[in-house]
Chain A
Amino acid sequence: MIITKAKEKQSVLDTLKDVQSVFLLGCSECASLCGTGSPEALAEMKETLEAAGKKVTGSTVAKTGCQVLGTKVELKPFKEAVDAADAVLVMSCGAGTQAMVEVFKDKKVYPANDTSFLGNMTRFQHFDERCSMCGECIIDMTGGVCPVTTCPKGILNGPCGGTNNGMCEVSPDIECAWAKIYARMERTGELDRLREILPPKDYSKKLSPKVWVIEKKKEEKESK
């Protein structure tokens, strides 16, 4: 899921300094799991804004905030509240916020969260980054552990000199990706795969902005 962190209250208030009334939009997917776009988070934001003298004209939690068409439909019943607001404050990821930029052509839309990474919830309210969305997955060669993401240097061919009793020199809280990879491939009997030199990443696969159209599904729908 996309991991988001709520901006500091003061930072949000600074963003809204010229705005008197606000419509709040959350998201029931990742941002709810991160507690940054859930109904509770929206209620807390409402309290904060009202305490600062702002008017909250309405609020809702979109099912999937980054799904532009669906969210547009979901917001129809809230037209009046949105119209009455000077700005929409979006409590989801950067994609969800920009979905609203697309929906509300002439309205101010502001982010309430910082979007951090694609991660796994490994423990309750504990998120770990596992994938960098590099566009060409190589973890078949590295025991299912991604060195692009979990090694701070993204080294593809073995540990650097900073490997330290299974931990990383960059931080004592980070496990050395290569110590993990080696140990796992030893257990799975795949060490031979590790002897192959992996080439540098093809960064053209990561060139932004990316567009992806699933032609087959599109054609199926259009032929109906």
Chain B
Amino acid sequence: MKKFREALESGEFAITAECGPPKGTDIEEMLGHAKHLLGKVHGINVTDNQSAVVRIGSLPVCRLLSEMGHDPIFQLTCRDRNRLAIQSDLMGAHILGIKNVLCMTGDHVSAGDHKTAKPVYDFESVQLLQCVASLNSGKDWAGNDMKGATNLYQGAVVTPEANPLEPQMLKFEKKIKAGANFFQTQAIYDMDNFKRFMDRARKHNVKVLAGILLLKNAGMANFLNKFVPGITVPQELIDKLKAAGKEGALNAGMDIAADQVRMIKEQGIADGVHVMAIGLEDKVPDILSRAGIA
């Protein structure tokens, strides 16, 4: 199986999944999930204190996954680090053999489990991308020469269903200008809308992986619609999950995800997919095989 960057650059349909490190030092379950994905995905994202909830750091977990044989994508947010810490972590990622970094601003601390913490945001995503580009060129952010440059394949996120969309597209273009090579999108469900987004994205020399979020049941779909900005699950899909009943909902959700993956691949809508199963990473191989992949 090709490495993530190689897959994208060679035009192969790229598949990534996501692992969220646990809170606490018992990491066996997470590693077990990751093992299920060996040979099935080109890259595996490791989240960075996802939802502003304290967990094991993304970087050491990336290293463990790399030792396991994965090609990890180091998610790096600006919420918890100033520009000094960000640069040390990026150089640290390089020496640990991490090849990919996903640059994000990061969920606000008010969303998480340490609501009284000081949010940092010394940089935000666009500036973080510029910073990675600078380190890749052998200069730190302040313009000082480095003894050895990083070589990180840098990516970013975008929300194709953001409302309003235009400011989001403006930022999307800034991210490309700042050096983003690839994008992993927020979860998409409305394929026509996503195609419209891709028509605009295709004007740029950048790879896009469509975000596929596994729906576990109708309740989850309703929750996403109500509480997660930029995600819209169409009623038709909610009805499908409902019709499948309590026992069959997850199976129906896996079918929905598989249909999306298949359509995106067969119609060449995007360059790959990023499958988010949130704790059910062991289902990802099944979803991929239902989609006709591997």
A179 to B186 alpha-carbon distance, docked (Å): 19
Q: Can you name the residue of chain A whose Cβ is closest to the Cβ of B79?
A: A153
CB distance A159 to B162 under 8 Å? yes
For A152, give its contact among B83, B108, B159, B177 (CB under 8 Å). B108
A51 at the interface (CB under 8 A from B): no
CB distance A182 to B124 under 8 Å? no
A200 at the interface (CB under 8 A from B): yes
CB distance A163 to B164 under 8 Å? yes
B117-172 contacts to A, CB under 8 A, are: 119, 121-127, 130, 157, 159, 162-164, 166-168, 170-171
Q: Can you name the residue of chain B whose Cβ is closest to the Cβ of A156?
A: B124
A13 at the interface (CB under 8 A from B): no
B263 at the interface (CB under 8 A from A): no
Shortest CB-to-CB span from A176 to chain B, Å, is 8
| Residue of A181, A194, A197 ringed by the most chain B CB atoms within 10 A | A197
Decide if the interface of chain A is mainly helix, strand, loop or mixed.
Answer: loop
A164 at the interface (CB under 8 A from B): yes
A199 at the interface (CB under 8 A from B): yes
For A153, give its contact among B83, B119, B170 (CB under 8 Å). B119
Number of interface residues of A (CB under 8 A): 30
| Residue of A156, A157, A194 ringed by the most chain B CB atoms within 10 A | A157
> Which B residues are in CB contact (< 8 Å) with A68?
none
CB distance A182 to B174 under 8 Å? no
> Which B residues are in CB contact (< 8 Å) with A155?
105, 121, 124-125
A169 to B37 alpha-carbon distance, docked (Å): 33
> Which A residues are in CB contact (< 8 Å) with B111?
169-170
CB distance A158 to B170 under 8 Å? yes
CB distance A158 to B163 under 8 Å? no
A142 to B276 alpha-carbon distance, docked (Å): 35
A130-178 contacts to B, CB under 8 A, are: 152-166, 169-171, 178
CB distance B186 to A182 under 8 Å? no
Q: Can you name the residue of chain A whose Cβ is closest to the Cβ of B166?
A: A182
CB distance B162 to A157 under 8 Å? no
CB distance B121 to A153 under 8 Å? yes
Q: Can you name the residue of chain A whose Cβ is closest to the Cβ of B178?
A: A197
CB distance B168 to A163 under 8 Å? yes
A123 at the interface (CB under 8 A from B): no
For B123, give its contact among A163, A170, A194, A200 (CB under 8 Å). A200
B110 at the interface (CB under 8 A from A): yes
A195 at the interface (CB under 8 A from B): yes
B230 at the interface (CB under 8 A from A): yes
A212 at the interface (CB under 8 A from B): no
A124 at the interface (CB under 8 A from B): no
